[in-house]
Structure 1
Amino acid sequence: MNQTVSGIDFAPALPWWLLAALAAVAVIATGFAVWRGARGAWWRAAAFAAVLLALGNPRLREETRETRPDIAVVLVDESDSTRVAGREARIAAARTAVTQRMSRLPDLETRIVAVPEAGTQGTLLWGALERALAEIPRARLAGILALTDGQAHDAPTDPAPGAPFHLLLAGRPGEIDRRIRIIEAPGFGIVGRSVEVRLVVEDLGVARADGAARLTIRRDGQAPRVESVPVGREHRVTVPIERGGPTVLELSAEVREGEVSDVNNRAVVTINGVRDRLRVLLVSGEPHAGERTWRRLLKADPNVDLVHFTILRPPEKDDLTPLNELALIAFPVRELFQVKLRDFDLVVFDRFANRGLLPPAYLRNIADYVRQGGALLMSVGPEYSGPTSLFPTPLGQVLPARPVGGGQAVAEGAFRAQVTEAGARHPVTEGLPQANQDAAPPSWGQWYRWLRAEPRAGTTVMSAPGAAPLLVLDRVGEGRVALLLSDQIWLWSRGHDGGGPQAELLRRAAHWLMREPELEEEDLSARIEGGTLSVVRRSVEPGPPPEITVTAPDGSITRHVLRPGTGGRATQDMAAGLPGVWQVSDGRRTAFAAAAAANPPEIADLRADEARLRPAVTAGGGAVRWMGAWVEPLIPDIRRVALGRDAAGPGWIGLRRNQDHTVTGVSATPLLPPWAALPLVLGLLLVGWRREGR
């Protein structure tokens, strides 16, 4: 809008200090004349005044101005905390009302600034305001209105908004909120032991927190247990770690009457179960070239405690040497295979022959150890066939392959081990370097001996010539067995014929036997990252994967089809926005994934509160007003106020009127031009002279 403003200014012909000196001389001269009683003194004073006025050059100045509208910033909080207790609807209604009222105010422009959800950083309201103010001239800023619940986790302690800052709160004064606050939760625990989670159930907004609350604890989807915990005091929850991998713990406090929301009444903790130092028993039946391969492999793992025995002197080699001259340690059969057998996580028999060192009762103990959850790995050579074989013993009941009789068990000749079709899907052999892939032969080194055997159970993951089983893996009861039907894997470690992935294959086999979660061949896992639920199903069984059922924390159930992948895997990703425990099932297995709150600072305290933004309101001279169904009207009246005036009062809030403008034209007309000043001065002097001459 254009407007014209008129005024009088001066453009002196002489500096102001010189005009001031001339004025002083004129005053002195006039004063002396008046003191002497000169008859033309006042006419002389008028002449002096005319001269000074002419030298000051007064002008009539006219400006044509284009006024620029002021700008009001409206911050609209869209973070997660505004979605509880009906706040989102009240903020939306207040935004509409504010926009309508401001549109009726002249010379005012409204800018809506949305404050989005900021992930794990809380509500970054002040950052959104600063970005908006960077594009607004401060001379045009009329004021700031924040439509929020008071959650502003980046508000400065000494703000300088530069204009009236008004806070319109969505909520109810004096709200209360119950929450679970995790004080300490371990990230991992030792399998077979228990860990403690320290927490406190708090009631915010109450003068005195007392009494007790029921705490529901659910672990990995099992039946919940309920404990009574004191409100406001630390409580410890004991969690047993029964298996490797993640253990998901869901905690839920009962809802308090009148609280804002129960969103923060729940907490989810994930504890990763890890095994303590693994105890491995390695028994070598005789010294041979591959014995050191096993020892180096197991000793290289700092998490493994290895007990290794080598049978140097079999019973049939009795040369009548006195015992006091033998530098040998007696094989502690009873201690190892009866007293302390179950202390070992893995038992490895390397070319161990049945020569009577282990009576049938001890071999039966080993078989029972496997059935009850133990792990057995056997690397066999020619001793596995014939009268020294362990297969006819009680241990043979848990072995997955029977040696071929008739003296045909031992086969010799150069060959390269092949990964079978099932092995390409099994985690022990899937993706092994240099393995056969896509009909291409393997590129690792050759072996020269294997044992012919008939598979009777388990999965053959590697084969010898003629599709004969070479590495067979089997589950027996609660335990696992691996049978390697060759004693020449050590050739790979020596680099013979290019070598091979000996260390990786044996490491995988050993960790599969000890039930490492990452090496489960029949497994369903789920994890949540960045609000996305990722499901991975792994199976050695061919065919399309089954449909999965996903149960959200709120109880809603959805079904999804997995996408087939490589290595026996099938995957699916889906949105997981709700915090809590998500359950995934394929009909046979069930997996759980914990989704923590997307923005923990945001839900830590759900009460609407002015405390964080009160310094900005005070610094800007604004006001705090509550909006909602409990306070009428929804928003106060909005007025324009002049600079320096109060910006708030009973029932109203004010936006500053800055009157910022741009000058588009200027004209100046002299009020006493020289052609008029000269006759005026001469006329006054003439009148004064004639007055004095009488």
Structure 2
Amino acid sequence: MTGSIVFEPLLNPWLIAALAAMMMAGTALAIWRGLSGWPFRALAGLVVLAALLGPVYQAEDREPLSDIVLMIEDESASQTLGDRASLTDTTADDLAARIAARDNTELRRITVPDGADNTGTQLMTALSEALAEEPRARIAGAILMSDGRLHDLDRAPDMPAPLHLLHTGREDDWDRKLVVENAPAFAILGEEIQMTLRITDDGAAPEGTSTVPVDVSVDGEDPQRFNVPLGEDIDLPLRLPHGGRNVLQFSTPAVEGELTDRNNTALVQINGVRDRLSVLLVSGEPHAGGRTWRNLLKSDSSVDLVHFTILRPPEKQDGVPVRELSLIAFPTRELFLEKIDDFDLIIFDRYKRRGILPSLYLDNVRNYVEGGGAVLIAAGPDYAAADSLYRTPLEAILPGRPTARVLEERYSPSITDLGQRHPVTSGLEQEFGGEWGRWMRQIEVEETSGDTVMTGVGDRPLLTLDRVGEGRVALLASDHAWLWNRGFEGGGPQLELLRRLAHWMMKEPELEEEALWAEATGQQMRIIRRSLEESVGPVTITTPEDEQIEMELEEVSPGRFEALFDGPTIGLYRLENGEHTAVIGLGPASPVEFENTIADTETLEPYISETGGGIHPLADGTPRVRTVREGRAMSGRGWIGLLDRNAYQTRSVTQTPLLPAWLVLLLAATLIVGGWLREGRQ
């Protein structure tokens, strides 16, 4: 029970002050006039003024509340280095026991793991949230057990009590780290890119090291080793070996004594893209579909198109002098002998033998395909004629033999079961609907090789794809694809089909029919296997620790098999399914927790000083805990202080007036009468 006197004025304080001034003036006048009863009158006025102030004796029934101590334990990845984790656990348990043994004290233990999405250690966020859940008047202090590497100092709260840092670093800690900077997300094939590599030693590193070895590996292949100077920026000129994702791994061997080798490796993933795709389009004669091919290829900004239409074949003799013609001569030798390898794709659109391209040139086209080039035949009636391209050296690479029949009837192109799985045609029916406009003509061919992905009249081959040597060949047995572009009977996916077809022939990685790759999101990867087969076996995953894990794949759509895998650690993972392999890097390219591993006290020192707390190394042992009063030193050699908050909860309040009305009336009346009697005697 605690008592005190409080005042509850009956009038406005300014009015009471005015009455006091009037009383003082009256008393002064009585003294000046020599009235002997002025003391009694003055005392009566004081009694009235005291009554107006409303003095009350207030008694409170208080219940003491315990002090609260916050202990923030850092369990981020950098705290797993060396003996930091065990040192933290041991000290935390020791401190918890000491604080629990103190009278009237409660302990709140908060653990802080790694921040989501590579945001690092969020110590101040955890401290702010813990403070928000407790009454500030009961906070006796907070203790951080960490290496001091935090990434949210800007969220530090206003502390009502001292904050102490018990850091887990040691004086002899040192670490070597490798950093790759300026790595682009994509690069153009054939062009050189520049990256900067730097290897540094932090902390109490051993002296005498000037150069260190660096291993560079591409897509998990055998690495090449180089020696680079320590502590200097090294410019790395690099050309990507292939299109699609290129996974580059830079690493330096671990050295005995360093804190960790987790930051000795850097993974860089760069997508290789072609700058320009060079396409040669040869139209045998003008027709409605010729502009479709031209518009398709010209609409792609990444395509350089060279287009020739044969308007004046050799057999056309109309007597017009050459000097009056504005036609450009077909540079056959330059295109088909000297510069043929500069093209990524050659398209013959309704072309037939007309004496323009000798057999030697067409034989060179065949060699071009076998060496890695691509040829697309958009066939019209010319393909069924006696002067068909099939009856040239190209016969050896074409996947369909013409029967000399031209089918002039309406039909709806359809996708075969194999085509449902092939990336060129898969999903077209779902994406654009299955009701497409009809075509009017088809060249009858007999499939001799390759994969037929679309059929026409009587399920005859309409679109056949084939691989020849290192190159690719496609045969479209109709010249009526342009009807879809004109919207005839609702049209169809003409532009998408021809775009996919052209890019498949130019070996774009996303259109490979047999492929294995993975897409990473944080520490999770989505494994994707595309195949023309009905089923595929399990994928073997090799982790950075060389542990092998097998995962079954589930078919999510025709020809597409997927599985989700959560990687246990950050690093390079190798995938294998039959003869198909892939590599992927999981986790951030530069984990923020391992960018700086040496314990740091300078970052938190100004903030801790403002709260009155101290910084102590755990290597020196567990500090003692003292109770201190406000305004005293909160930390010293070997000890930390906690405030004595003396917090309490008021259970009840009782108020008793010191001057009841009857007593005020009695005292005032007595004093006034006394003054009157004294003055009456005189």
* Superposition TM-score, scaled by structure 2 size: 0.88
Q: Which residue matches 1:343?
A: 342
Task: Tell me which moved more, 448-457 or 155-164.
Answer: 155-164
Task: Tell me which moved more, 134-143 or 251-260.
Answer: 251-260
Q: How does 1:608-619 map to 2 (within 5 A)?
A: 608-619=599-610
- Taking only the aligned residue pairs, the percentage that are identical comes to 43
Q: Which residue matches 1:652?
A: 639
Partner Cα separation in structure 2 for residue 182 and residue 642 of structure 1: 52
Q: Which residue matches 2:494?
A: 502
Q: Which residue matches 2:194?
A: 196
SS at match of 2:613: coil
Q: Which residue matches 1:129?
A: 127
1:79 paired to 2:79: no
Aligned partner (choices 411, 415, 419) of residue 415 of structure 2: 419
1:97 paired to 2:94: yes
1:662 paired to 2:654: no
Give the 3 Å change call, closer, same or farther, for CA 171–17 of structure 1 in structure 2: farther
Q: Which amino acid aligns with 2:241?
A: E
Q: Which amino acid aligns with 2:565?
A: M
Aligned partner (choices 584, 597, 617) of residue 626 of structure 1: 617
Q: Which residue matches 1:222?
A: 221
Q: How does 1:178-197 map to 2 (within 5 A)?
A: 178-197=176-195
Q: Which residue matches 1:143?
A: 141
Q: Which amino acid aligns with 2:359?
A: P
SS at match of 1:364: helix
SS at match of 1:594: strand
1:451–1:486 contact (8 Å) kept in structure 2? yes
Partner Cα separation in structure 2 for residue 648 and residue 307 of structure 1: 81
Deviation by residue 1:411-432 (Cα, 9 ceiling, x = unmatched): 2211111111100100111111
Partner Cα separation in structure 1 for residue 232 and residue 195 of structure 2: 14
1:56 positional shift? 7.0
Q: Which residue matches 1:261?
A: 260
Partner Cα separation in structure 1 for residue 590 and residue 71 of structure 2: 24
Aligned partner (choices 80, 105, 110) of residue 107 of structure 2: 110
1:243 positional shift? 1.9
1:447 paired to 2:439: yes
1:160–1:619 contact (8 Å) kept in structure 2? no
1:469 paired to 2:461: yes
Give the 3 Å change call, closer, same or farther, for CA 323–675 of structure 1 in structure 2: closer
Partner Cα separation in structure 1 for residue 646 and residue 432 of structure 2: 81
Deviation by residue 1:464-522 (Cα, 9 ceiling, x = unmatched): 22321111111111111111111111121122222211111111000000011111111
1:604 paired to 2:633: no
1:561 paired to 2:555: no
1:636–1:652 contact (8 Å) kept in structure 2? yes
SS at match of 1:391: helix
SS at match of 1:396: helix
Partner Cα separation in structure 1 for residue 624 and residue 425 of structure 2: 74
* Superposition TM-score, scaled by structure 1 size: 0.87
The total of aligned residue pairs comes to 662
Partner Cα separation in structure 2 for residue 448 and residue 531 of structure 1: 53
2:127–2:157 contact (8 Å) kept in structure 1? no
Q: How does 1:225-374 map to 2 (within 5 A)?
A: 225-374=224-373
Partner Cα separation in structure 2 for residue 421 and residue 676 of structure 1: 109
Give the 3 Å change call, closer, same or farther, for CA 158–113 of structure 1 in structure 2: closer
Partner Cα separation in structure 1 for residue 6 and residue 304 of structure 2: 98
1:318 positional shift? 2.5
Q: Which residue matches 1:428?
A: 424
Aligned partner (choices 463, 470, 476) of residue 484 of structure 1: 476
Q: Which residue matches 2:680?
A: none
Q: Which amino acid aligns with 1:396?
A: E
1:121–1:599 contact (8 Å) kept in structure 2? no
1:517 paired to 2:504: no
Deviation by residue 1:617-674 (Cα, 9 ceiling, x = unmatched): 10111111122xx433xx2122222222222222221110111223334567899999
What residue ranges of structure 2 are gaps of 5+ in the alignment? 32-37, 675-682
SS at match of 1:235: strand
1:98 positional shift? 2.4
Q: Which amino acid aligns with 1:409?
A: R
1:135 positional shift? 2.2
Deviation by residue 1:229-248 (Cα, 9 ceiling, x = unmatched): 11111112333222211100
1:12–1:55 contact (8 Å) kept in structure 2? no
Q: Which residue matches 2:519?
A: 527
1:203–1:209 contact (8 Å) kept in structure 2? no
SS at match of 2:633: coil
Q: Which residue matches 1:162?
A: 160
Q: Which amino acid aligns with 2:100?
A: S
1:609 positional shift? 1.1
1:246–1:271 contact (8 Å) kept in structure 2? yes
Q: Which residue matches 1:547?
A: 538
Query: Could you say what the CA RMSD is over the residues aligned between the two structures, in angstroms?
Result: 3.6
Q: Which amino acid aligns with 1:267?
A: A
Q: Which residue matches 2:571?
A: 580
Give the 3 Å change call, closer, same or farther, for CA 327–50 of structure 1 in structure 2: closer
Give the 3 Å change call, closer, same or farther, for CA 80–599 of structure 1 in structure 2: farther
Deviation by residue 1:77-133 (Cα, 9 ceiling, x = unmatched): 222222222322322233322222211111112222232321222212112211221
Task: Tell me which moved more, 141-150 or 597-606.
Answer: 597-606
Partner Cα separation in structure 2 for residue 608 and residue 289 of structure 1: 74
What residue ranges of structure 1 are gaps of 5+ in the alignment? 31-43, 687-694
Partner Cα separation in structure 2 for residue 53 and residue 647 of structure 1: 49
2:432–2:493 contact (8 Å) kept in structure 1? no
